[in-house]
Chains A and B, each alone.
Chain A
């Protein structure tokens, strides 16, 4: 295992070095990824300030959700970008994945570490900055417990998004063709989890608390960070469930990935 870890680290370092060969391009991509977060947050703040509150939450409290969701999404995509449908489909169609399977490394380890995209570090850092700004505006005093809850939200939501990416990639082995439908969960899920869960109807809420538990992973820890009581059906103590549920979701994603590989037949090219 330690031997493998060294190989993966070298692969990751090589992929970062290859993008760093064009520093201007890398910088532009990273800055742009951060800018899009800043702009999205700015727009939402402009709108929320006009209204004053949503679902009983003040604008900076909502912005905390945005920050946590963007940070988690950035973290998941730094490693999982290659698992997105269009890129995975290309690996399969070009036959690159045939070679991956013959290598003495786990296919997942290879795919993840060979194409690390530092662009999403920009998204992650801008998300983290948003969290700091929002909690300052909301008057949150940071304690180790609250910092722990914020970290829990980011780590678990990232694990869930990674699980979605894994399952979608497993699916791509079977269909070969890329389907953008998975974006509903990766980008749509982030958008949905950026607003307090009480504004959604019961179907959406159930879907994103218990099926693709992004809402559970972002919203429930955020209640603790803000010192708020949850709405009926979503009490703050559910935070204890976030890590096991996210872990289970990630494991299911891993199973789907393995099932996909078992069905992989190549494209003959």
Chain B
């Protein structure tokens, strides 16, 4: 079986982000680039499926990222993916969700797979629209938030989380699948994995290799970013040491009353 996992490289979500008041840009200093957390879960699912099916199952990482960042994918290779394909092109700069999904779909058409695993959400842009968009572009079923997967021949059975509980769904392969975080915690890369990853291939794709009918990048985008700014600052509030339970409760109650919340 061939599995492709889409992985986005994002600014470390655990780093405190700051916008430079002068340039109005994200201060990159001290913010490293990591694998989008949701994509690590999707990769973990792919690796578990590979272990379960064994044999000739392969896991390929696909990412659309600036060429300068692509080495960041070594971490995914160290976790156990077999190889990676990166779509990089200056012409992709400024792509919004429409243009990103369009370009990704064109690149994914050059790969073959039975299962396309996509993260549920990116940490930086958090639209969650890419999985559905890819499924439409590629004509694949779109099964999201999987927490258990069972593959028999060319059929897949998935237990998936919903807003109100969970469902069991059945569909054909190939399919697109996103994983819920309950599928399993992403593994750490072993030392052996890290060493092995250095020798794995990160193949490059660029726009001239794709068949595109619509423009991408800023020109192909359908939304215009007019401005961005940090949110209103939320100052540090008051700290009260509670002598006992009643005093603590009274302090909260009085505070809520002063804000008309009780």
Does B associate with A? no
